[in-house]
Amino acid sequence: MPLTIDRIPADFGRWDEVLALIMHAFAFMDGVIDPPSSAHLLTVDTLRDKALRETGFVALDGGSIVGCVFAQERADDFYVGKLAVAPDRQGRGIGRRLMQVVERLALDHGKAVLELQTRIELTGNHATFARLGFHETSRTAHEGYARPTSITMRKALS
């Protein structure tokens, strides 16, 4: 069965699997980024609530959830968050396909820009997003930090 990308429906019942995927995919950040990832604040209930405010997608391979992404429509763009691919499936284009679905969503809603944030320490993510057409627009600090902790990146869609 080929990999499919599905929009998360209103009656989605696999939040525990999405949560486990995000936690597994983001685990490499533990001890690397400061402050710790907001993924640690997620629960099944907060993910369910997130899906009420944002559009979520899952990548499915043979029924297994191997990737996810959330996109929040804003006034001038879509904000992309919690892009996650199972570590044993990374490097196979799943993240790229998830981002392509978000791009189509944004264009369908008349938005020509995607924005995301990545942590300063995650230079591999910076390079990955640059390959996907994103460029750095600013650096910001989490509350309580005097130094930049995040990089904001944007992509203009055609």
Does residue 1 have a pLDDT over 80?
no
Cα–Cα distance measured from residue 32 to residue 54, given in angstroms and rounded to the nearest whole number: 28
Asked if 98 and 67 touch (Cβ cutoff 8 Å), the reply is: yes
> Look-up: residue for tokens 């930049």?
148
Q: Per the domain annotation, does 118 fall within a domain?
A: no
List the domain range (segments joined by +) for residue 44: 4-111
CATH number, domain with residue 15: 3.40.630.30
Q: Per the domain annotation, does 58 fall within a domain?
A: yes
Instruction: Please tell me the total count of domains within the chain.
Output: 1
Each residue's pLDDT tens digit, 98-143: 999 999 999 999 999 999 999 999 999 999 999 999 999 999 999 9
Number of separate helices (H) and strands (E) present in the chain:
4, 7
Kindly give the pairing relationship between strand 78-85 and strand 113-119.
Answer: parallel
pLDDT on residue 124:
94
Mean of the pLDDT values across residues 59-81?
Answer: 97
Share of the chain above pLDDT 90, in %: 96
Asked if 81 and 129 touch (Cβ cutoff 8 Å), the reply is: no
Q: Per the domain annotation, does 22 fall within a domain?
A: yes
